[in-house]
Amino acid sequence: MSNLIVLPMAVPVLAGIILVFFRNQVQIQRWISLIVMLANAGLAIYLLNLIQAEGVMRLDFGGWEPPFGILFVADSFSVILVLTTSVVAAVCLLYAFSSIGKRYENMFFYSFVNFLVAGVNGSFLTGDLFNLYVCFEIMLLASYVLIALGGKKAQLRESIKYVLVNVISSWFFLIAIAYLYGSIGTLNMAHISERIAETGQAPLLTVISIVFLTVFGLKAGLLLYFWLPGSYSVAPTAVAALFGGLLTKVGIYAMIRVFTLFFYHEPSISHSLIGVMAALTLIGGSIGAVAYKDIRLIVSYNVVIAVGFILVGLAVATPAALEGSIYYLMHDMIVKTLLFLLAGTMIAVTGKTKINEMSGLIRNYPLLGWMFFIVMLSLAGIPPFSGFIGKVLVGQGTVEAGSYVLLTLAFISSIFVLYSLLRIFLGCFWGETIISIEDKVPMKRGWLFPSILLTFATIGLGLGAEFLAPYVSDAANTLLDPEVYIDAVLYE
Amino acid sequence: METLITILTGILVTVATYLILTRSVLKVILGTAILSHAAHLMIMTMGKGLKSGSVPVLVDGQETTFVDPLPQALILTSIVISFAVTAILLVLAYRTYRETGTDNLYELRGNKHE
């Protein structure tokens, strides 16, 4: 029992409410939001170490013992993701300070970023299935506002579709919860897991698991990613980076949690289906990434490829593969945010969005070019950077499980990632410069600084993988052995 | 009673699906509202024993057979959420209509020619 677990959700909610009253004091809004994110990051590090010492922690709200009340459960997996979320959100805020503009800042932009982060952290930490739904909705409502904020034609047009897709998928989520409650009679996640293990996973439960798979597939962009490139490419850079880093990852988290804690008894059905969906996602995402000339669309399709790659790890579900998925999830949250920020900066300095409209940017903005180069290597999985360890472990897992098709597709998709980004690099950074010295838009320090921070984060995550190993392997062990989670929630 | 409500849920889902597949944004939004009502009714039937139990309070300290109160709590939460989502969707649709001059989803596809 520790009241600290609720803070990653409670503090951003409170901050978001307080910021509403400081509508015109932009400086106060900026500093409060940034301090909240940094405090969350610090808290997450402290909790992560506490979990290593004391095991999985929980907090029963209102003193209602599980399985009767709503509760928060913090295991290594959740807290690692809370930590990464806080870092990503802090960097996006730093970028927003110099790019988003006063119009947004006066219209409660920072409040909604706080609400979004609260929803994301709540989803990671909750131990109750219905509460997961509620936290998802908090996150989605904030994202509806953030995506439409600004009121450009394209934004409004895409936001309508984005909201409708998410309303329908939330409806499926509600229905899935109702079915599960009707057949199992509980909503506490540990209790559900225990009851399914007792009664065995009957065909009815497997069908329910497929409904859950559909829901999280829509939210995470697994196979059902048709809505993703359109809506991610219209938002302002700081928001797109936040979405690219966080939103689909919550869907992935929920999928990994549900299929390792509840529905792990029939892997030949549910996990094979995840494998097929992941394979198709990798193929579709790769085709999308090389098909377009618009940088924002290429970057959005790279999000799709990463979703497929992470869930290959879940589909084979060996210890190595799950560890790899967790590493890759952290890596992807950081590097995708960085990629969106760099792409947004390129568009901001040139005013163009297509590859063939820019060239020679490296002469004007060398640092931007080299950072893009590092991101490219990191996403392709070249050793000193953070993508490497995740790819190796997922690869090892697929070999152990003997699913060579997934192995092949996962690694071919890396080549497509490399190719799609190399096209941007060659097209936009090499060649004769299109910007004369007089017309050059001065690079703001506030644009480069957040990207530099994340570049160091990806190098640090690559070189410091050894340092993170105990946390990640603890997270994977908890996922693979539901007993640990159940004991911590129900029997302590 | 459960059978009746299940049939009613089915009818509501049918109506909602029809509305969601129309071109007008406003009808689609009404469709999502009806869809959420269908979900609420379904959660209620999941509580089991809709007519057999009494209210879930102790009578003279005695336990009686009572209806499962949890689904009703879920429905209450869910109603609030769907209310919020419908509200934001309506505002968004109105604003989109003002900006783009159309409420036809086919024209909101956003192809190259804008």
Burial of residue A60 (number of CB atoms within 10 Å: 0-12, 13-18, 19+): middle
Query: Bridge-partner residues for A139, per DSSP?
Result: none
Q: B114 falls in which pLDDT band (50, 70, 90)?
A: very low
**Which of A165, A166, A170 has the highest number of chain B CBs within 10 A, making it the mutation to test binding with B?**
A170
3-class SS of residue A23 = coil
Q: How far apart are CA A418 and CA A385, in angstroms?
A: 14
Q: How far apart are CA A308 and CA A221, in angstroms?
A: 9
Residue A164's alpha-carbon distances to A2, A141, A159, B12, in angstroms, are: 38, 12, 8, 18
> A390: how many CB neighbours lie within 10 A of its CB?
28
pLDDT of residue A432: 83
Check if B88 contacts A (Cβ < 8 Å). Answer: yes
DSSP state of A68: T
pLDDT per residue as tens digits for the range B17-72: 999 999 999 999 999 999 999 999 999 888 776 777 777 777 777 777 778 888 88
pLDDT per residue as tens digits for the range B64-73: 777 888 888 9
Q: Which of B25, B10, B4, B24 is nearest to B92 (CA)?
A: B25
Q: Are B35 and A171 a contacting pair at CB < 8 A?
A: yes
Q: Which of A462, A474, A464, A459 is nearest to A47 (CA)?
A: A474
Q: Where are the domains of chain A?
A: 3-490
Check if A204 contacts B (Cβ < 8 Å). Answer: no
Task: Give the DSSP H or E segment for B79.
Answer: helix B70-100
- Domains in chain B, CATH or no CATH each: 2-52+67-104 (1.10.287)
Tokens, residue B105 = 């989803």
pLDDT of residue B49: 66
pLDDT per residue as tens digits for the range A368-416: 999 999 999 999 988 889 999 999 999 999 999 999 999 999 999 999 9
Q: B-chain residues within 8 Å CB-CB of A148?
A: 92, 95
> A404: how many CB neighbours lie within 10 A of its CB?
10
Smallest Cβ–Cβ distance between A160 and the set B25, B48, B81 belongs to: B25
Torsion angle defined by CA atoms of residues A320, A322, A326 and A327, in that order, rounded to the nearest 10 degrees? 20
Q: Are A168 and B71 a contacting pair at CB < 8 A?
A: no
> Are the C-beta atoms of A315 and A253 separated by less than 8 Å?
no
Interface of B with A in 35-64 (CB under 8 A): 35-36, 39, 42-43, 45-46, 48
Checking if the pLDDT of B113 tops 60, the result is no
Tokens, residue A358 = 């820019």
3-class SS of residue A1 = coil
Q: How far apart are CA A479 and CA A403, in angstroms?
A: 21
Residue B111 backbone class (left: φ over 0; alpha: ψ -120 to 50; beta: rest) = beta
pLDDT of residue A395: 94
Q: Are A144 and B84 a contacting pair at CB < 8 A?
A: no
DSSP state of A110: H
pLDDT of residue A1: 61
pLDDT of residue A443: 82
Q: Are A178 and B42 a contacting pair at CB < 8 A?
A: yes
Q: Are A174 and B92 a contacting pair at CB < 8 A?
A: no
> Are the C-beta atoms of A184 and A192 separated by less than 8 Å?
yes
**Which of B86, B88, B98 has the highest number of chain A CBs within 10 A, making it the mutation to test binding with A?**
B88
pLDDT along chain A (492 residues), means of 10: 89 96 92 96 95 92 88 94 96 93 90 96 95 96 93 90 94 94 92 93 94 94 91 91 93 95 92 95 95 92 95 93 94 95 92 87 89 94 89 94 93 94 91 77 86 94 90 93 92 82
3-class SS of residue A25 = coil
Residue A210's alpha-carbon distances to A45, A171, A205, A214, A216, in angstroms, are: 35, 15, 9, 6, 10
3-class SS of residue A99 = helix
> Are the C-beta atoms of A138 and A101 separated by less than 8 Å?
no
Q: Please tell me which residue of chain A has the smallest CA distance to B73.
A: A130
- The DSSP result for A216-257, as a single string, is HHHHHTSS--TTHHHHHTTS-HHHHHHHHHHHHHHHHHHHHH
Check if A366 contacts B (Cβ < 8 Å). Answer: no
pLDDT of residue B62: 73
pLDDT per residue as tens digits for the range A448-475: 999 999 999 999 999 988 899 999 999 9
Q: Which of A42, A59, A49, A56 is nearest to A6 (CA)?
A: A59
Query: Helices then strands (H, E): number in chain A?
Result: 21, 2
Check if A157 contacts B (Cβ < 8 Å). Answer: yes
